[in-house]
Amino acid sequence: MRQFQTAALAVLCTGFLLASCSTEPERPALTPESPELAPRPSLGVAGSTPLGFSDGQGKVWRQPAATTGLSWNQIATVCPRDGLNPCQGTIGSKDLSGWVWASSTQVLQLMSLFDPAILTSPTGSSASVMAGIGFSSVFTPTQWFANTYSSSQWVGGWTSSKDANGLPIAGGGGWSTPPHAGGIGIGPVTNPDEANPARGVFLWRADGSDGRGIDAVDDSGSVAEPGGTVVVANVLANDVLAGEAATVGTVTLTQLASTSPHVSLDPSDGSVDVALGAPAGAARLDYRICETANPSNCDQAAVAVTITGTIIDAVDDQGGSKTTGGTAVANVLANDSYEGVPVTLTTVSSDDVGITLDASGAVSVARGTAAGTYRLVYRLCEATSATNCDTAVVVVGVVDLVIDATDDQGGAPSNPGGTAIGSVLSNDRLDGAVARLGTVTLSQVSSTDPGVTLDLTDGSVEVQAGTAGGVHTLRYRICEVAVPGNCDEANAVVTVAPQTIVASKTSFSMKEGGSATFTVRLAQPPTGPVPVSVSYYAGTATVTAAPASLTFTPANWNTPVTVTVTAPKDSDKVDNAATIHLAATGLATVPVVIGVTDINKSSGTPIATITAPRNGATVSGVVDFTGTGTAAAGATPVEAKFIVDGNRIHTDANTTGSYRIPARWNTRTVANGWHVLELRVTDSTGKDGRMTVKVLVAN
C-alpha cells in the first residue's frame, strides 16, 4: 500500500482505505437532499444520475456520503455479502433496502474505470493522482478540507468482502495539494465495529445501462365468488426484460407480500389465485422479477385484486373472566361487518374446552378454567354463500381472584409470652373480601425464632414463654382453597419485650455526706429466681449502695425493693459523680448515675453541670462534651472551661449558661482507659463552680 500526505491535514492516510484523517475538521452531515450529493462530472468514463454514478456496465452506484457512520458489522445485519442480493433493512436513519452491497472485486472493477491498471495491481491500489481526482469528482467526498494554501478530498466506503485474515475490506480514493498526491485502492480495516463518520458503504443496483433493462408493470383483476379462481393469468404479460416480454424462462418470480392469505402468486406460471373462503373486498399482492442470468437486476410491481359480493369482515375481540367463570365477550358480532345479511357462526378452534362460543355470539368461560390467556378462533360466513367468509380471533384472559396477604405487627412480653397478633387474616383479602379460613388455607413459611409461631386454626401469632427479647419475623402464606396455586405471602413482625431490671430513678443528685434512695423491680415475671447485684461501678466520688444483692422470684418480681445510696464527705469544693450498676445474668445492666453535690462550696458559687457524656459511660471516637452553668442571684455565667485529666482543651465564653465544644471531643487524643472530665464555670463576679465525671475511653 502506498502512503500519501495531504498538506492540508498534515497527516498520513495510509493504504487508501482510511476513510478519515482524524485531525481533519468535522464536516457537516450530508443528507440525500444536500447539494453535496448532486451528481458531478464523470470525466467521460460514465454518466451520473440522481441516484449516484452509473458505470455503463449495468450498475448505478449510490453515493457513499449518504451512508457514512456505519460499521461493517452493522451493515452485515441487513445486507447479504454475496455482491448479488439486495439489502433489506434500515440502520438508524440509513435505509439500505434494494441496494446490493458491493464486493471488493466489484469495487476494483468500478475503480478500473479511473485506472485500468488497478485490476493487475498486486496491492489492489493505484497511486495515480488523476485517478484519485476522477474518483472523488464522480462521488461526493466523504471527507474534505480546503483553506487558502491547501486542499484535499476523499471518498471512502466499506465493501462486503474480508481478506484472508478475516478482516473487513474498505476502499477509497482522493487527492491533496500541495504537494500533488492521490490515488485509489482497497485494503483491510482492523476493527469491523468502527463507525467512521467519513466512511460510507459501496452500494449499487442495476440500471439497465448494459442493455438489460428490466421493468415490472402493475396488474389488476377481480372475481365475483372466490373459490380457487385465477384472477390474473400471468403477471409477466406486461413485464419487460431488455426490450422483450419477460417470461418464466428469462426471469425469476418472487411473491413479496399479500394483504390477504387467500391471494397468492404461482411463481411457476405467473398466475395470481384467489382461494376458497376469501372475503369480499380489496387485496394487494406485491411481487418481484429478477433476471435469471443476473439475479441482481430486479424490479417489482403490485397486483390489485377486487373480490365482489357481500363484504364479510370478522374483527378480533378480547375479553376476560375470573376463574369463577362467566361471560368474557357478550357478542363477537358487535364489531363485525356483514351488511345486514344472514350469517352463520362456527368455532374453528379453542385453546381450552372451557372457552366456548354459542350461537348468540357470546364467549363464555367455564368455572374452574385455569388462569391464563386463551385464543378462540371463529368463522363468520354469509348464510347463503358458504365461501364468503372471514375468520377472527377472540383473546380471552382468565385471571385468578386477587389474593392479598398484608404485613402485620404486634408484640408480647418474653415472660409469660402470649398472643402477639390476634389473627394475621384480619387485614388479608380474597377478591376484595376479608380472607377467612374456609376460603383460604394458612401455612407458616418461616420464623426467625422458634418461640414465635403461627396458630393455623385461628391465624393468631403466639409467643412462647422465655422467647428471647427483640424483633422477630414470621412469614406466612395464604392460598385460595378453590385454586391452591393462587397464593400470596406476608410477614408478621413481632416485638418481644425482654426481661429487664426496672429502676425507679436512673439518675438523681444528692449531697455528699448524705444518703438517698431508689427502688428496683423486674419488668416481667421470671421463670425462676433472678439475683440482681447492686454495686459501685465508677466515678469521681465513691458511693455505697445497700443492700448489695436483691433476689426476685415469680412471687415478688413486681414488688419494688428500696436501695439506699450513701455518699461520703470530701475536702474539695467540686461537685462529683458516681455510677451504680444493677446487673443480673442474661439481662441488660442498668446504670444509675448519681450527682454528688459538694457541701464545702461557699455561698454564691456558680453551679457547673456536665450534661454529656454521663459518668461511667464508655466512649469512643468524637463525642459530645457539653454542660450548663447557673450563677447565683445578681451574677451571670460568663465562660466554661473544658478540662480532661487536668488539661484545658477548650474555653466557651458566653452568657447563655449553655456550653459545648463546637467540634466535639476527639477521644483519640488520649489513651484508652479511664479519664476524668471537668467543667469549670466562671461567673461575672469571678467565682467558679466545678463538676467532674469519669469516663472509659475505648477506641
Instruction: State the average pLDDT over residues 21-33.
Output: 33
Lowest mean pLDDT among 94-98, 273-277, 288-292, 389-393: 273-277
- DSSP SS3 for 668: helix
pLDDT band at 227 (very low <50, low <70, confident <90, very high): low
pLDDT confidence of residue 475: 98
pLDDT band at 47 (very low <50, low <70, confident <90, very high): very low
pLDDT band at 13 (very low <50, low <70, confident <90, very high): very low
496-549 pLDDT per residue, tens: 999 999 999 999 999 999 999 999 999 999 989 999 999 999 999 999 999 999
Say if residues 62 and 99 touch (Cβ distance below 8 Å).
Answer: yes
587-613 pLDDT per residue, tens: 999 999 999 999 988 888 999 999 999
CA 501 – CA 486 distance, rounded (Å): 48
pLDDT confidence of residue 54: 85
CA 627 – CA 642 distance, rounded (Å): 9
Largest CA distance in the chain: 132
C-alpha dist (Å) from residue 392 to 80, 111, 279: 37, 57, 12
CA 686 – CA 221 distance, rounded (Å): 118
Task: Tell me 89's DSSP state.
Answer: -
pLDDT confidence of residue 575: 95
What cell numbers appear for 201 in the block?
A: 458503504
Domains of the chain: 3-206 (no CATH), 214-307 (2.60.40.60), 317-399 (2.60.40.10), 403-497 (2.60.40.60), 501-597 (2.60.40.2310), 607-697 (2.60.40.10)
Asked whether residue 645 carries a pLDDT value surpassing 90, the answer given is yes
Average pLDDT, the chain: 89
pLDDT confidence of residue 367: 87
C-alpha dist (Å) from residue 154 to 133, 176, 413, 671: 9, 9, 86, 76
Instruction: State the average pLDDT over residues 465-482.
Output: 93
Asked whether residue 158 carries a pLDDT value surpassing 90, the answer given is yes
pLDDT band at 18 (very low <50, low <70, confident <90, very high): very low
Percentage of the chain lying above the pLDDT 70 cut = 92
Cα-to-chain-centroid distance, residue 525:
54
326-363 pLDDT per residue, tens: 999 999 999 998 877 889 999 999 999 999 999 999 99
C-alpha dist (Å) from residue 535 to 70, 519, 542, 546: 83, 14, 11, 9
pLDDT confidence of residue 52: 81
Percentage of the chain lying above the pLDDT 90 cut = 76
Phi, psi of 12 (to 5 degrees): -95, 130
pLDDT band at 207 (very low <50, low <70, confident <90, very high): confident
pLDDT confidence of residue 425: 97
DSSP string, 231-265: EES-GGGG-EETTEE--TTTEEEEEEEESSTTEEE
Cell 482497497 sits on residue = 186
Cell 425493693 sits on residue = 561
The answer to whether the pTM exceeds 0.75 is no
Cα angle vertex 187, ends 185, 188, to 5°? Answer: 160
CA 486 – CA 484 distance, rounded (Å): 5
Buried residues in 193-227 as b, exposed as e (16+ CB within 10 A): ebebebbbbbbbbbbbbeebbbebeebebebeebe
Instruction: State the average pLDDT over residues 273-294.
Output: 87
CA 404 – CA 428 distance, rounded (Å): 6
pLDDT confidence of residue 331: 96
pLDDT band at 226 (very low <50, low <70, confident <90, very high): low
Asked whether residue 472 carries a pLDDT value surpassing 60, the answer given is yes
* Residue partners of 122: CB distance under 8 A and separation at least 6: none
Say if residues 538 and 694 touch (Cβ distance below 8 Å).
Answer: yes
Say if residues 14 and 189 touch (Cβ distance below 8 Å).
Answer: no
CA 45 – CA 50 distance, rounded (Å): 17
Q: Phi/psi class of residue 458: alpha, beta or left (left: φ > 0; alpha: ψ in -120 to 50)?
A: alpha
Instruction: State the average pLDDT over residues 395-416.
Output: 94
Instruction: State the average pLDDT over residues 267-276.
Output: 92
Asked whether residue 186 carries a pLDDT value surpassing 70, the answer given is yes
What cell numbers appear for 15 in the block?
A: 493504504
pLDDT confidence of residue 223: 85
Instruction: State the average pLDDT over residues 15-34.
Output: 34
For residue 179, cis peptide bond before it (omega within 30 degrees of 0): yes
- The most confident of 27-31, 57-61, 202-206, by mean pLDDT: 202-206
**One-letter amino acid of 387:** T
